[in-house]
Structures are given as C-alpha cells and as structure tokens.
Amino acid sequence: MKNLFIVVLLLVSSFSFAQTAEEKAQANNPLANLTAFNLQQYYSPNLSGNSEATQSSYWMRFATPTGRVLWRASLPINTYSNPELGISRSGLGDFDLFGAYLAVSKPTLSVGIGPSVSAPTATHSSLGTGKWTAGAAAVAYASVSPQFQVGGLAIWRTDVGGDANRDDVNFMAIQPFAFWQVSNGVYFRTAPTWNFNLEKGEYNVPVGFGIGKIVKVGNSVCNFFIEPQYSVLHYGDNQPIFQLYSALNMQF
C-alpha cells in the first residue's frame, strides 16, 4: 500500500490529457472554488528516538465551497509501529475541520482565513490527542505566472476540552509551497509541513522536492504527485527523519 501512489504516478505519466493553463495552475490551489476530494499519505520509515519505529498517515480530505467560505474536512487513518517496545497500532486519527473565508478571491491571488477545529475521534490513545482543539488557520495562493505558483498555509490550535489525563495541546503547523509547471501536465513541487509542539518545545522542519502530473479525465482534474522530504531540524522523539509524501487530488 505504501507504494500505491508511486505506481499510479508512473502509469499516468506516460499519458497526456488536454488541460487549460488555468486548470493546471488551479490544480494545486487549496482555495480553488471547486469541490475536491484528496487521498494523501505521509509514510516515514525512520523516526527520531528509535530507528526501527515507523509511522504512516492516510488522509481523506473533502473540500467544498459555500458562498465565500471553503470548508475542508479531513480524517486520517494512522499506523504506528515500534518493534523495540512491541507496539503496533492502526486506526482512525482525530477529525479535522477548517472553514476558510475567502478574503481575496482573484484569478492570480487567493487568501483565506478562518477557524480550525479538531475532534478526538482516534480509535486508540496513541493515534490522537484525546482532546477537542480549536484555533485559526490562514492560507494564501498566488499564481505568479501560468508556469509558477507559490503560497503557504499556517494553522494554530490549542485544546478546549477532552480527556483531562492527556497532555495539553498547543501546536502550530506552517506549510510553504511552490509549483513549477513544465509541460504536458508535469510539474515540480515542494510543500513540506513544519510542525511545532509549543507545549513540549518539540519541532520538525523538513524540506522536500517532488514531481507531479495533472490530467483531465472527463470533467474532473486529477493531480498525482510524490515528494520525498528530509528533516533538516528536529527535536523530540518520534519525529520523521525521512518521509514520503504522495497523493491523488481530484477536483470536480
């Protein structure tokens, strides 16, 4: 399963489907005024604190606009394995919801800001926080040219309820991204997510560089990509040293 997106990308890379320049530019826009469904995976075969430990997160994300607000709901399926401690867990993680009010919505620039919340839906304590959390998020996406797009996402949340015996939550995530369209729907990309556990002082700052392919199938735009990422700064146990980020993103 961990190589599923790699296989799909290789199969599709040999085909070329007609797409407009706008469709290619908007295929990676998290604020596109379109209904979208994404299947994304982060797989890390090497975690700090234990070289034998591994983790994987499959994210199912659904986004749809209602007026000037874009709603994005996400639910992960998490797997964590630590042979040294005899631990192997797999199940649902915490449900995540973000409502982005489109303060700016232009063909070349989109800016959204709004509340971000999560619910403790994890099926095991090691796969979630055990807390209800709330905070805010902001995202910007700029189409500098038909070939080059840049932007970023920032999220901050803290716990507002839940299991009193679990650790408090206070975290921030920052994701800068850039995309360079080459030809025939092929593009290069970088979109690492920098995670900061402000409660414990732990952090992980990866860098990444990957390749993707945008194809149009009927009225849907499909975006396949794979991006290896390596942590250049990290502190704390169970931080991904290397991870593979891959996905199939679909816009309708």
| Residue located via tokens 């860098």 | 207
pLDDT band at 17 (very low <50, low <70, confident <90, very high): low
Structure tokens at 104: 């700016």
pLDDT band at 3 (very low <50, low <70, confident <90, very high): low
- What's this model's pTM, rounded to 2 decimal places? 0.90
d(C-alpha 61, C-alpha 118), whole Å: 14
pLDDT band at 19 (very low <50, low <70, confident <90, very high): low
- Per-residue pLDDT averaged across 132-143, rounded? 98
Predicted pLDDT at 1: 47
Predicted pLDDT at 11: 47
Amino acid letter for position 206: P
DSSP letters, 66-114, are ETTEEEEEEEEEEEEEETTTTEEEEEE--EEEEEEEEEEE-SSEEEEEE
Predicted pLDDT at 84: 84
d(C-alpha 170, C-alpha 29), whole Å: 27
| CA-wise closest residue to 132 among 97, 104, 92 | 97
d(C-alpha 28, C-alpha 225), whole Å: 10
**Residue 57 DSSP symbol:** E
Summarised one tens digit per residue, pLDDT across range 65-114 is 999 999 999 999 999 999 888 889 999 999 999 999 999 998 899 999 99
Summarised one tens digit per residue, pLDDT across range 169-182 is 999 999 999 999 99
Helix%, strand%, coil% for the chain, nearest 5: 5, 65, 30
| 131: enclosing H helix or E strand | strand 131-143
Amino acid letter for position 2: K
